[in-house]
Amino acid sequence: MMRSKTQNNSEAAEILAINALGFLASDGERLQRFMDLSGLDVAAIRAGAANPAFLGGILDHLLGDESLLLIFAEEQQVRPERVADLRRKLPGASVDF
């Protein structure tokens, strides 16, 4: 059975967001800044990592910081616009980023 394009995009969005979480966690300063801005601690981040809405928030964090977004996009070998496109596939997306 073939998956629909929407399912594939949702899965791609979740994978990208999990990679973004790993990107943040790989650098203590990046992770601390995310925690400071979000008010979350490590336990809350771990608990939220399987939640698509939380993963959307991870991508929102990247989209809100252009320099961070560009570093992430380069490391992942994706266009920054692709991050925004995939963000829209997760719950809670704004239409104007």
pLDDT, tens digit (0-9, with 9 covering 90-100), for 23-75: 999 999 999 999 999 999 999 999 999 999 999 999 999 999 999 999 999 99
How far is Cα 19 from Cα 76, in angstroms, rounded to an integer? 8
Q: Is the pLDDT of residue 3 over 80?
A: no
Phi, psi of 72 (to 5 degrees): -60, -50
Closest CA to 32 of 61, 59, 75, 54: 61
How many Å separate Cα 18 from the centre of its chain? 6
- Please determine, for residue 83, whether its predicted confidence score (pLDDT) is greater than 80: yes
The confidence score (pLDDT) of residue 7 equals 56
Q: Would you state the pLDDT for residue 8?
A: 81
